[in-house]
Amino acid sequence: MKSIMERFSLEGRTALVTGGAQGIGKAYCEALVQAGAKVAVVDINLALAEETAHALIAGGGEAIAIRTDVTVQDDVQKMVRTVVEKWGSLTIGVNNAGVGLWRDALTMDFMDWRKVLSLNLDAIFLCAQAEGVQMKEQGYGKIINTASMSAHISNTPQNQCAYNASKAGVLHLTRSLAAEWAPLNICVNSISPGYTKTALVANLLDSPEGKSMLPKWLERIPMGRMALVEDLQGAVVYLAGEVSDYVSGSDILIDGGYCSW
């Protein structure tokens, strides 16, 4: 029988991470490489993806960069083919690319709604579908979707109905795929981060409205601080490895206790 540390190891596994060039996605790439996986850094910004991939290689890992618009089905299918052509398989798909947007529901432009749903939900389906086809052929795979604590609650004081709805959709899509694909030996799970220190959040907080929100956020976090990207890395390694082979349809909420109130 393998030791627990051997079961956590990702040696011999191949992964892709969408939105992998920065923020949470970059932290996921770093964690997966450190655990032994070969990682494709997928991003719409190829220069940033290449920068992240080069850093992973410089640290002793094996990585490539792939430019992909995850809202375009042909791009997504090409992404999976590229990984398989490079390494012979795709064991782990981390569908992480997303966007946040604050808008009042009464005045929100429908195109803003569609932008959020397209990237945060439609693209998750496109990626999972393409990954699932490959994993069915292999007879094994791990799919990990980035949801959010906003899938579980309606955040305050900011108004973000599109974001909340999209992430709730990710949560139930994950459960649905987990049930459908369990006979194929494909595990599908999600990670729900709370407020996390990333460039995406920093841009939101840089506005006058955002600056007024940070103290209100911190008041509601029992642990009294925002998450660091490092706080999320253990979950992605766990869900990507053999150690979680009996885990599917689950969500790991990493929010400093925010949803405990």
Domains in the chain: ranges and CATH: 4-253 (3.40.50.720)
The token pair at 241 is 């490895």
pLDDT at res. 199: 80
What is the set of active-site residues?
A: 148, 163, 167
One pLDDT digit (tens) per residue for the chain, 261 residues: 899 999 999 999 999 999 999 999 999 999 999 999 999 999 999 999 999 999 999 999 999 999 999 999 999 999 999 999 999 999 999 999 999 888 999 999 999 999 999 999 999 999 999 999 999 999 999 999 999 999 999 988 889 999 999 999 999 999 999 999 999 999 999 999 999 999 878 877 888 877 888 899 999 999 999 999 999 999 999 999 999 999 999 999 999 999 998
pTM to 2 decimal places:
0.96
How many Å apart are CA 239 and CA 80, to the nearest integer?
A: 20
The token pair at 61 is 């890992």
Dmax of the chain from CA atoms? 59
* H or E stretch covering 102: none
Which runs of consecutive H residues, i.e. helices, occur in 139-207? 161-181, 199-205
Which runs of consecutive H residues, i.e. helices, occur in the chain? 4-8, 23-34, 46-58, 73-87, 110-117, 123-138, 161-181, 199-205, 208-220, 233-240
pLDDT at res. 207: 81
How many Å apart are CA 46 and CA 74, to the nearest integer?
A: 17
Candidates 91, 99, 102; CA nearest to 144 is 91
What are the C-alpha distances in Å from 3 to residues 6, 116, 230, 243?
5, 43, 25, 10
The token pair at 90 is 């795709």
Q: How many CB atoms lie within 10 A of CB 77?
A: 17
